[in-house]
């Protein structure tokens, strides 16, 4: 009887598995750095059509190298209200296809070149400061790590060929397909990577330890197991996010049921392809994996609407949007996809701006009507502004710890500074409300001429601030440039109003107390335009 060193097998296998998981993540980080900005652009632009959503899902999964990671991102986008359920289902379908890239990569059997690739990747990382070469190095290092880890796991499993009990058990899996589905589901839920399970299957099938008929059910089960990440991400999210997670589970379970019914003909077709195309065992598993996901997607594309209706029926309720708190700051995106997290931070900045401008509008209504309800609104909006500013700042600080491109670092700094400017607009609005509290308590009145001037100054300030926000939303440099010249005109207007009001005081048309409050109000307006100017300058300097 051949002696087997179980400790050596366990150490090599677990070490190889750990390196495999790290390498996939590291390669995905490098790919994402290369395409981070484009990824956000395509998500925003092309997900309105389910077919294009599938293509976006394929691209995202190929970049991140994790279908579950893409689904977590999608759950976050739906939770934030950036995608609807039908769009999200298309992305999830595409993610299942994109994740097969790793299995095809493994199918090329580049294990002999693993160590040179690791060296080249390390050289690009440590011997140059060029960001593009650094990102290229991450990708190459990750690919080399994948193949080196597969060699480790393959070497670990090789002695198992001499263990008759292990061989006999694997041989029976061909006759126990449902047991194979359970094993694939459980293992994937445990290690959170269907790509790792596929890699192990490729090693077992290549080593003759497992038949294709025994491997395919495990492969199918791994697609179900990968859903657990999305399910966990949806816990605590809104109803729409829970529906996305449910749709992901349904999609993979339905596909598994279909292919379990067709297991024998599907296995025969894959064996025929292996013979006809002279595929390696690893590539045969890759073809099986890809064929399942592509066919499943094609079969279910016409039923996206029905699938959405089913999960909506299962999880009833309205898609709630929570007010008075950050809407887009999904923390799971920070590590899964920092580029997308940064895009969400930009959207949150616009959300913050909406509360800042509403606080300013309410302060003017308070001046004109003296109704306490407007003073309460100002303070409510200002509280919301402060809450979101703190959350957004914390979120951005956490993103800054991730690997970002130079342009993304510029954007992060721009959002951080602009958040503070918007918070200051809220502060000025609250200060205006405090002034009006005193004016109302002392029953101080303004002359008709003073009220007209305050209205004109408010109108100029309000329009300038709104345009600054529009410039942020649309990255409109022409509009931002116009704000610079208009800001100078408002400063001149303030000086003119101060002079006019002093003349009015000298004529006895206004009281001294009213005059002090008048000057304070237009001073706050001018300070608000200063912050609007800061926002416009961020657009002009490509920081927003």
Q: Tell me: do 265 and 338 sit in the same domain.
A: no
- Domain assignment present for 153: yes
Structural domain span for residue 254:
6-314
Q: What is the mean pLDDT of residues 532-543?
A: 87
Res. 438: pLDDT tops 60: yes
Pick the more confident residue, 313 or 152. Answer: 313
Which tens digit of pLDDT belongs to each residue from 466-485?
999 998 888 888 888 998 88
Predicted local confidence at residue 320, as pLDDT = 47
In degrees and rounded to multiples of 5, residue 447 shows phi and psi of -70, 160
* Tokens encoding 115: 């160590």
Q: Tell me: do 106 and 199 sit in the same domain.
A: yes
Contact by Cβ (8 Å): 433, 366 = yes
Q: Tell me: do 266 and 154 sit in the same domain.
A: yes
- Domain assignment present for 370: yes
Percent helix / strand / coil, the chain, rounded to 5: 85, 0, 15
Contact by Cβ (8 Å): 350, 80 = no
Q: Tell me: do 168 and 239 sit in the same domain.
A: yes
User: Vertex 224, ends 80 and 286: CA angle to 5°?
Assistant: 110
Q: Tell me: do 257 and 364 sit in the same domain.
A: no
- Domain assignment present for 23: yes
DSSP 8-state assignment for residue 330: -
Cα–Cα distance measured from residue 232 to residue 245, given in angstroms and rounded to the nearest whole number? 9
- Domain assignment present for 326: no
Of 2-11, 198-207, 513-522, the poorest mean pLDDT is in 2-11
- The rounded percent of the chain whose pLDDT value lies above 70 is 84
- Domain assignment present for 488: yes
Predicted local confidence at residue 163, as pLDDT = 64
- Domain assignment present for 325: no
Res. 324: pLDDT tops 60: no
Q: Tell me: do 341 and 234 sit in the same domain.
A: no
Which tens digit of pLDDT belongs to each residue from 215-224?
899 889 988 8
* Mean pLDDT of the residues in the chain: 81
Radius of gyration over every alpha carbon of the chain, rounded to an integer in angstroms: 30
Q: What is the mean pLDDT of residues 306-317?
A: 87
Can you tell me which residue has the tokens 């349904």? Answer: 250
Q: Which long-range contacts (CB under 8 A, 24 or more apart) does 6-10 make?
A: 8/156, 9/156, 9/157, 9/159, 9/160, 10/156
Q: What is the mean pLDDT of residues 423-429?
A: 91
Q: Tell me: do 221 and 145 sit in the same domain.
A: yes
Predicted local confidence at residue 77, as pLDDT = 67
Can you tell me which residue has the tokens 């025994």? Answer: 214
Q: Work out the pLDDT band at 387, boundaries 50, 70, 90.
A: confident
Buried b (16+ CB within 10 A) or exposed e, 223-240: bbbbbbbbbebbeebbbb
* Residue at which a domain ends, from 284, 314, 344: 314
The count of structural domains within the chain is 2
3-state SS string for 175-234: HCHHHHHHHHHHHHHHHCCHHHHHHHHHHHHHCCCCCHHHHHHHHHHHHHHCCHHHHHHH
DSSP 8-state assignment for residue 111: G
Q: Work out the pLDDT band at 1, boundaries 50, 70, 90.
A: very low
Q: What is the mean pLDDT of residues 400-429?
A: 89
- Domain assignment present for 1: no
Q: Work out the pLDDT band at 321, boundaries 50, 70, 90.
A: very low
Which tens digit of pLDDT belongs to each residue from 155-169?
776 676 666 666 666
Q: Tell me: do 69 and 141 sit in the same domain.
A: yes
Q: Tell me: do 389 and 257 sit in the same domain.
A: no
What's the whole-model pTM score?
0.56
Predicted local confidence at residue 292, as pLDDT = 92
């Amino acid at each position: 009887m051949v002696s087997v060193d179980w400790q050596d097998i366990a150490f090599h296998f677990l070490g190889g598995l750990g390196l495999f998981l790290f390498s996939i993540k590291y390669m995905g980080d490098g790919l994402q750095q290369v395409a981070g900005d484009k990824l956000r652009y395509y998500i925003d632009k092309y997900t309105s059509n389910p077919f294009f959503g599938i293509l976006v899902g394929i691209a995202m999964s190929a970049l991140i190298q994790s279908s579950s990671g893409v689904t977590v991102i999608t759950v976050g986008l739906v939770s934030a209200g950036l995608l609807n359920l039908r769009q999200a289902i298309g992305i999830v379908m595409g993610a299942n296809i994109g994740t097969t890239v790793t299995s095809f990569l493994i199918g090329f059997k580049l294990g002999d070149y693993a160590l040179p690739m690791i060296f080249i990747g390390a050289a690009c990382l440590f011997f140059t400061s060029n960001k593009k070469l650094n990102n290229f190095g991450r990708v190459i290092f990750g690919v080399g790590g994948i193949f080196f880890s597969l060699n480790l796991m393959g070497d670990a499993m090789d002695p198992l060929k001499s263990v008759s009990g292990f061989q006999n058990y694997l041989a029976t899996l061909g006759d126990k397909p449902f047991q194979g589905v359970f094993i694939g589901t459980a293992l994937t839920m445990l290690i959170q990577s269907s790509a790792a399970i596929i890699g192990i299957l490729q090693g077992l099938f290549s080593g003759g330890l497992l038949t294709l008929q025994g491997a395919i059910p495990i492969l199918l089960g791994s697609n179900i197991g990968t859903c657990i990440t999305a399910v966990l991400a949806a816990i605590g999210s809104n109803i729409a996010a829970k529906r996305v997670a449910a749709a992901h589970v349904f999609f993979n379970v339905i596909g598994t049921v279909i292919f379990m019914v067709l297991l024998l003909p599907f296995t025969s077709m894959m064996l025929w392809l292996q013979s006809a195309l002279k595929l390696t065992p690893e590539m045969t598993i890759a073809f099986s994996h890809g064929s399942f996901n592509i066919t499943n997607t094609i079969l279910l594309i016409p039923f996206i609407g029905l699938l959405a209706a089913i999960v909506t029926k299962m999880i009833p309720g309205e898609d709630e949007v929570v007010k008075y708190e950050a809407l887009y700051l999904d923390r799971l995106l920070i590590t899964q996809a920092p580029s997308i997290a940064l895009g969400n931070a930009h959207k949150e900045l616009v959300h913050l701006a909406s509360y800042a401008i509403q606080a300013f509008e309410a302060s003017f209504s308070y001046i004109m009507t003296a109704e306490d309800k407007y003073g309460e609104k100002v303070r409510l909006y200002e509280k919301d502004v402060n809450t979101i500013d703190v959350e957004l700042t914390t979120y951005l600080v956490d993103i800054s710890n991730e690997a970002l491109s130079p342009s993304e670092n510029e954007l992060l700094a721009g959002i951080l500074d602009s958040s503070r400017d918007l918070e200051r607009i809220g502060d000025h609005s609250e200060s205006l409300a405090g002034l009006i509290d005193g004016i109302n308590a002392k029953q101080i009145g303004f002359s008709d001429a003073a009220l007209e001037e305050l209205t004109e100054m408010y109108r100029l300030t309000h329009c300038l601030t709104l345009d600054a926000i529009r410039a942020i939303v649309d990255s409109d440099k022409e509009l931002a440039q116009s704000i610079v010249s208009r800001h100078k005109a408002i400063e001149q207007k303030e000086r003119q109003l101060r002079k006019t009001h002093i003349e009015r005081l000298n004529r006895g048309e206004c009281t001294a107390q009213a005059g002090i409050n008048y000057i304070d109000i237009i001073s706050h307006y001018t300070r608000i335009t200063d912050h609007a100017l800061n926002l416009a300058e961020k657009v002009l300097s490509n920081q927003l």
